[in-house]
Structure 1
Amino acid sequence: MKFTLVIRQGKTQLIGQLKEIPGVLTQGLTIAEVKENIQDALALYLEDMREDDAEDSNAIIAQEEVEFA
């Protein structure tokens, strides 16, 4: 799965955001640091989404893993 990382100059640091998932944000002093941090931010975001699904499991009709090329 590929995502587009958009990096902008903030007031004091670089700001990174995934174009496809705007809720995944991070910051860093260098582009390399932003690239590293965005992976952590995405992992935390997905973990949080899984926890939300688990809490609302009574409303789930179907659930399966899918792989995107």
Structure 2
Amino acid sequence: MRATEVAMALGEPDIHKRVEVVRTRLKRLIDKGWLAEHQRGQFSIVEGLNGAALNGAAADH
């Protein structure tokens, strides 16, 4: 999904500032191992992630 799509799914208004806030959050989730960015701007959940977390990190990572 793109940051705009995620923002809309979260109920954020479709304005540049709010989309950028969501994009920043998505980038943080990449750093934590929860998301992957396969192409520039295309975010997805990391394959094999089961939704459980230990101390804020992906359990299967």
- Superposed pair shares fold, TM > 0.5: no
Q: Report which structure shows greater RCO (CA 8 Å, sep ≥6).
A: 2
TM norm structure 1: 0.35
